[in-house]
Amino acid sequence: MKLARNNSIAPTLALNYTDTVHEGWKNAVMLRSEINPKDGRFNIVIRIPQYRVQGRYQITGSIIGIPLEGSGHFEATGINMTNDMLMQGHLQERRGEKFFVIDDFSQKTHLDTMSVYLYNLFNNTRLANATNRLLNENHRAILDGEGGKLVNVLWGKLHEGLIQRIFDKVPYRIMFPDLD
C-alpha cells in the first residue's frame, strides 16, 4: 500500500506499507451487504471487535502537524472497528476464469480506540517514543478531527489491498455463485 505526497488528505505525507499481516477478520460480523452485480458495485459494512495489522513501513512528512520520518516494523490495533466499504469494479478474464478487479474503493472507519507503534521512527530516538505516545494518548482527538480522514484512507488502503488479494485468488463464480 502506498500513499504518495500531494494526496488530498495529507499532502505532506508519503507512506508505504509492505508485508502486512492482518488479524481479527475471523471475528468480523457483517452488518450490511449490498451487491449490484450489473454495475460492479459492492457496499459492505462490517464490525471487527479487535483488528490488528503489522508489517513494514516507510514514512516521511507530517500528520496533523507532527513531523514523521522513519522506516521499520509497525503495529496497529483498532478496537470495535466498524468499516463501511464501498467498492466499484469490473470482471476480468484470466486463465479461463472471471475475477473481480477493484477500480475504486472508499471506506469510512469508526474505532472506539486505536493504538499504533512505529518502530525505528527517527532512528529509534527518545523522540520516537514521545511521538508514538503522543499519537496514542491523543487518538480520540486525532480520530474525531482531521486525522480521521487520514485514518479512513490508511485503513482503507490496507483493506483494499487485502480484499483485492482475495478477489485475485478466488474466481467470481465461486465467490458469488448466484451472481455469475
Residue 88 counted as domain residue:
no
What's the domain range around 144? 2-30+46-83+109-169
pTM: predicted TM-score of the whole model, two decimal places:
0.75
Contact 165, 91 (CB under 8 A): no
Residue count of the chain: 180
Residue 75 counted as domain residue:
yes
CA 160 to chain centroid: 7
Residue 74 counted as domain residue:
yes
CA dist 143 and 145 (Å) reads 6
- Total domains present in the chain: 1
**Is pLDDT larger for residue 122 or for residue 92?**
92
Place of cell 505516545: 133
Over the chain, what is the mean pLDDT?
Answer: 86
Lowest mean pLDDT among 8-17, 59-68, 76-85, 101-110: 8-17
Q: Using the predicted structure, report yes or no on whether residue 36 has a pLDDT greater than 50.
A: yes
Mean per-residue pLDDT, 113-139: 87
**Is pLDDT larger for residue 84 or for residue 95?**
84
All three cell numbers of 17, joined, read 506499507
Residue 162 counted as domain residue:
yes
Residue 91 counted as domain residue:
no
Residue 96 counted as domain residue:
no
Residues 134-158: tens digit of each pLDDT:
889 988 887 887 777 777 887 888 8
Q: How confident is the model at residue 102 (pLDDT cuts 50, 70, 90)?
A: very high
Q: Which residues contact 156 (CB under 8 A, 6 or more apart)?
A: 85, 105, 106, 107, 109
Residue 73 counted as domain residue:
yes
Task: Provide the CATH number for the domain around residue 165.
Answer: 3.15.10.30
Residue 53 counted as domain residue:
yes
Give the SS3 label for residue 112.
Answer: coil
Place of cell 503489522: 54
